[in-house]
Structure 1
Amino acid sequence: MDSRDEVVLALTDDIDTDESGASGGAAGPFGASSRRFALIGHFGFRVAAIIIYLFCSWFTYSFVLPFVLVLITLALDFWFVKNISGRILVGLRWSSYLDENGQTRWRFDARPPAPEPAQGVQLTRRELAIRSSQANAARLFWIGLIATPIVWCLFLLVAVFSLHLRWALVSAMALGMSAVNLFAYIRCRMSGTFGGGATPSTLLAGFQAKMVRQMFSDLVSTINKGGGFAKASANNPPTGSATMEA
């Protein structure tokens, strides 16, 4: 194990009680209401960011207000997925901290799976329903986590080819934030460590810096070539119909 990384396979702090009132039973540490809350937040913030991105031009021609709203919803989504929905829905969590030497350490937590029933022991109908509900919630978590970077990647390509350079930058930032959460949770699931000193923060910073440089370079070159059309097209984000046509 690399000295800069730490893998902790325990998630025992702040354990709630399950539906049956016992800690860590068949329902897991979180009940059905907690899973519903986590699913609402897991999809709510990212869907809100996508809706603002697609349809803000219907209500305003300003770029600043939609830009700020999209960034706020993206930040809320990143924090919620990192700290709440992953822990409740799949029993995974990742975080970082500074040790006594000032070095950044990355921690990947995984809740132990529920024990399987002993041989010959039949689960009750309620226990089977609880396990099915947990499996469905976990499946929805991974669907949302994987689908979001794909959606933002498509938006980025459409914005770039449509010369919506400002919105290409927004899409790139959203893609970077969602990709970091996806990458970190995959590492949690695999109970592995980052190799070669690569961390979610360095990946996000490098990706965003590269995209910012590319966007400004393209913008300057377009203006130098008489890019009045590019300036006009950048003031309005691509709408849902434009996205589908592209």
Structure 2
Amino acid sequence: MMDSRDEVVLALTDDMDTGSSSDGPHSPSTRRSAVIGHFLFRSSALIIYILCAWFTTSFVLPFIFILVCLSLDFWVVKNISGRILVGLRWSSYTDDAGVVHWRYDSRKPSPIDSADVSSLSRRELAARMARQQLSRLFWIGLIASPAIWCLFFLASLFSLHIRWAFVCTIALCMNIANVYGYIRCWMSNMNESESNILKVIKSTATRKMSNLWPLSQTKSNLNNTSGNGLPLVA
């Protein structure tokens, strides 16, 4: 699990998928498949948890199926759906000294995503709206799943079903890990965007001041020349 003692590396990389078409770096069919994968395994784990008592009295078999679905969901959300649907990715690596480094990557927005609405064609506008809708679905699924598992955990805890509370704890840990990772990616992207905006403002202000400085110097020289009684050259 992520630990505050680990060194965190915030990076906005260009090695993620890029593209310049109106559909972006991924085709609509790829995004639809990513949405299906984003909800498939987490929904399967929840359905098995809810309905397993109707089909079997065993604890081991449902536990194995739920654990498999949770593991597949963790991998798909971490490595596929987040990268395709919202352009975010988190990962970790261990250096030669044995120190764990965490990476929170974000894909740069495409020109279509950052362009003004009035400058887009109808197809480009529809493609951008579709990507925004899929992005909302990603975040809804990411947040809703641990919230539901939290309710199940409280219900099993108050009903003294300790074994099922343990299952909910595993599900919560795996879901919250992805939530934490993607929130860190989003925050690093926001910080980078704010930094870029500040740089643009600073450069603009510096350019304005540099343009005003020669003008003020010229006026000062003209005033000095006029005060000395020298003729002014038109």
* TM-score, structure 1 as length reference: 0.71
Indicate the structure with greater helix content.
Answer: 2
Structure 1 position 186 matched with structure 2 position 178: no
Q: Percent identity?
A: 54
Match of 1:106 among 83, 102, 109: 102
1:81 counterpart residue number: 77
2:152 counterpart residue number: 155
CA distance 1:135–1:156, shift in 2 (3 Å): same
* 1:6 and 1:107 in contact (8 A); partners too: yes
CA distance 1:88–1:148, shift in 2 (3 Å): same
Q: Which amino acid aligns with 1:122?
A: S
Q: Which amino acid aligns with 2:185?
A: C
* 2:90 and 2:102 in contact (8 A); partners too: yes
Deviations 1:73-129 (A, max 9, x none): 00000000000000000000000011122211111110001223379x621111011
1:229 counterpart residue number: none
In structure 2, C-alpha distance between the alignment counterparts of 1:118 and 1:139, rounded to whole Å = 20
1:8 counterpart residue number: 11
In structure 2, C-alpha distance between the alignment counterparts of 1:118 and 1:182, rounded to whole Å = 31
The alignment partner of 2:120 has SS state of: coil
**Structure 2 unmatched runs, 5+:** 190-234
Structure 1 position 29 matched with structure 2 position 45: no
The alignment partner of 1:66 has SS state of: helix
Which structure would you say has the larger Rg? 2
2:221 counterpart residue number: none
Count of equivalent residues: 183
2:199 counterpart residue number: none
CA distance 1:3–1:58, shift in 2 (3 Å): closer
CA distance 1:11–1:142, shift in 2 (3 Å): farther
In structure 2, C-alpha distance between the alignment counterparts of 1:184 and 1:118, rounded to whole Å = 30
In structure 1, C-alpha distance between the alignment counterparts of 2:48 and 2:6, rounded to whole Å = 43
1:220 counterpart residue number: none
- Shift in Å, 1:10: 1.6
1:91 counterpart residue number: 87
- Shift in Å, 1:28: 1.9
CA distance 1:137–1:11, shift in 2 (3 Å): farther
* 1:25 and 1:114 in contact (8 A); partners too: no
In structure 2, C-alpha distance between the alignment counterparts of 1:55 and 1:117, rounded to whole Å = 48
* 1:97 and 1:105 in contact (8 A); partners too: yes
- Shift in Å, 1:12: 2.2
* 2:41 and 2:72 in contact (8 A); partners too: yes
| Coordinate RMSD, CA, aligned | 1.9
The alignment partner of 2:119 has SS state of: coil
* 1:11 and 1:109 in contact (8 A); partners too: no
* 1:49 and 1:74 in contact (8 A); partners too: yes
Structure 1 position 166 matched with structure 2 position 169: no
1:242 counterpart residue number: none
- Shift in Å, 1:57: 1.2
